[in-house]
Amino acid sequence: MAKKFDAIIIGTGQSGPALAARMTQEGMKTAIIERKLFGGTCVNVGCTPTKALVASARAAYMARRGSDFGVVVDGSIAVDMKQVKARKDQIVQRSNEGVTNWLKNMENLTVCKGHGRFVGTDSVQVNGETLSAERIILNVGARAFVPAMTGLDNVDYFTNTDMMEVDYLPEHLVIIGGSYVGLEFAQMYRRFGSRVTVIEMGDRLIARDDEDVSAAVKEILETEGVVMRLNAECIAVEKRSNGVAVKVSCDDGPDEVVGSHLLMAVGRRPNTDDLGLDTAGVETDDRGYVVVDDQLASNVPGIWVIGDANGRGAFTHTSYNDYEILVANMFDDDKRRISDRITAYGLFIDPPLGRVGATERQSLESGRKVLIGKMLMERVGRARERSETQGFMKILIDAETKRILGAAILGIGGDEVIHSVLDVMYADAPYTLIQRAVHIHPTVTELIPTMLGDLKPLN
């Protein structure tokens, strides 16, 4: 006999717990299933720990730069990796406990610890028990994608999850993958004191961004001593007595990087392969993401997917926004849609990149007449005062409607400053609104109006 619920949520990522709270408040008898850690990727092995580690790495970097600011450090600067990890663990533990206690104390909620799998369109099995409900919502997230690669079965490697257990300094960390996850680890371990090499198959880093952004990010990391090997089309790995060798060229010959440790950071794959989706008849795309409509419904009535597993976002804020859209439609008669969301994300190297909306290529492909404003961080007083002048900011404008199409801010505070642009995009206001605003001096944001006063056609 199946245990009956009004709703079942599989996965406790960034949106499942909030959804459970709302459903139970609405008087729905709800079950939530988690096979591993409450809070999912972001809290346990993603955003929270990596940003805690980035903060330790920045402290080490600034300590080494003390003399640039007239600060005398009398003695050598060392990084205690055990303490770095302990600090990170403490921050993670607090967040994890927060979600765990929230769920365990939620009235009207049954928490099941185990792997959930469909056994019918309205029923799920967990720990040998069958639960059924008219509404089933998946918040199962994603995990590191590890591609088939010559030699990989014979070597030890980390994914972002295993990296969380590292409490020592790898002598030479080789990272396969020059995108968001890989680059944050690259700079962080370089700052801790490792040698770091990033191996990327493409001809540039973070390929979804514009060329000038990729080039500036590369320069920032190379200036700190991270070695980049781009165009590594034929990657193969081999065990060596002192670690692992990564072949980086298609040509015969010894073009290889030998490192003490290897991190695979080539992307993510959705946790949908062992969910029994076939049994329920739920449609996925060729990469395993569940196909959803603009309001997060799958092709099977009564089954919705929120978070990374629907392929419509790959961030904590997009997962949480999925929850907001779902409950707006389900309970509030508010027809919110995914397509109302404006692309926004950060790359949390130091200085960080904040990105919103379209890239240059996407703006031009849209067929619009586009204006561009660009300013080097060297021109920003705040950046000069802090001796952190790397990077630039740029903004793209629709010449006819005067609406902002997109922006990138790579530089100090870029991840925060970008929100002044994003909010005007959400307000659907013309760029002249920011141009005429009086911003506080001396900040990075105060130069956005200046940049908007010097727009040029983008060809």
Q: Which residues bind ligand FAD (CB under 6 A)?
A: 10-15, 33-37, 40-42, 46-47, 50, 115-116, 139-142, 160, 181, 271, 275, 307-309, 314-317, 319, 348
Nearer CB in complex with ligand FAD: 162/255: 162
Nearer CB in complex with ligand FAD: 45/458: 45
Alpha-carbon distance of 256 to 238, in angstroms, equals 10
- Phi first, then psi, for residue 115 (nearest 5°) are -85, 125
- Phi first, then psi, for residue 451 (nearest 5°) are -60, -40
Nearer CB in complex with ligand FAD: 2/258: 2
Which residue is listed with tokens 């850690």? 37
Nearer CB in complex with ligand FAD: 29/36: 36
CA-CA-CA-CA torsion sign (414, 419, 425, 430): negative
Alpha-carbon distance of 318 to 344, in angstroms, equals 9
3-class SS at 430? strand
User: Which residue has the CB atom at the shortest distance from ligand FAD?
Assistant: 141
Structure tokens at 385: 């005062």
Least Cα distance to 155 among 146, 164, 165 occurs for 146
| Closest distance to ligand FAD from the beta carbon of 317 (Å) | 5
| Closest distance to ligand FAD from the beta carbon of 366 (Å) | 26
| Closest distance to ligand FAD from the beta carbon of 203 (Å) | 24
Nearer CB in complex with ligand FAD: 50/56: 50
**CB neighbours of 97 closer than 8 A, spacing ≥ 6?**
none
Structure tokens at 197: 């090499």
Question: Which residues are paired to 388 by β-bridges?
Answer: none
| Closest distance to ligand FAD from the beta carbon of 370 (Å) | 28
Structure tokens at 135: 């509404």
| Closest distance to ligand FAD from the beta carbon of 352 (Å) | 10
| Closest distance to ligand FAD from the beta carbon of 26 (Å) | 21
Alpha-carbon distance of 32 to 379, in angstroms, equals 52
Where do runs of H (alpha helix) occur along 224-315? 277-280
| Closest distance to ligand FAD from the beta carbon of 307 (Å) | 2
> Can you state the angle between helices 211-223 and 180-192, rounded to 10 degrees?
20
| Closest distance to ligand FAD from the beta carbon of 368 (Å) | 28
Nearer CB in complex with ligand FAD: 35/204: 35
Nearer CB in complex with ligand FAD: 172/268: 268
Nearer CB in complex with ligand FAD: 131/383: 131
Structure tokens at 151: 């030699």
